[in-house]
Amino acid sequence: MVSTTAGDNITISKLQASFPEEILEVDARQGDPSVVLKRGKIAEICRFLRDDADLVYRYFIDICGVDYLDVGKKPRFAVVYHLFSLDKKHRIRLKVPLEESDLTIDSVVDVWKGAEWFEREAFDMFGIRFTHHPFLHRILTHHQFVGHPLRKDYPADKRHPCTEPWDLDLR
């Protein structure tokens, strides 16, 4: 584990005490602390951050996908979670690197209902699959769309006409 100035940050201290084997890197040098995690226990870690009385990360801000193709970082992809504690007035950024050959991670919809849309967006735009997601379907592109338009290697001028209606029963 690489640690960079974790200092007196209670969130980082509690994560290091409770999930030491899951932490790959900590960076608290500039602004909000970032913790790079293994993907295996992401839902458990998020539940811990939400429920711990000293942390209370009840406000889920967002999830986003990242493609590091242009900078050559390995692994190429990551899922980034931004959380905020309204009660304690602190933020945390969680990053989970994912190999291009295995773009899967557990859903956190059971922890924060608001994650449902953001996970679908990361699935649609980057191809990241969230296991145990209640309705993992495209949300910004149509059902005949091929590929993931926010990947750095996706051709900007590529077009995908939608020629058939989507027969989906949302009940």
Give me the phi and psi of 150, to 5 degrees please.
-95, 0
Phi-psi region of 149 (alpha: psi -120 to 50; beta: other; left: phi over 0): alpha
Q: Which residues of the chain have pLDDT under 70?
A: 1-7, 170-171
pLDDT at residue 8 in the model: 75
Report all structural domains of the chain as residue ranges with CATH numbers, in order of start.
2-131 (3.30.460.80)
pLDDT of residue 86: 96
Is the pTM higher than 0.85? yes
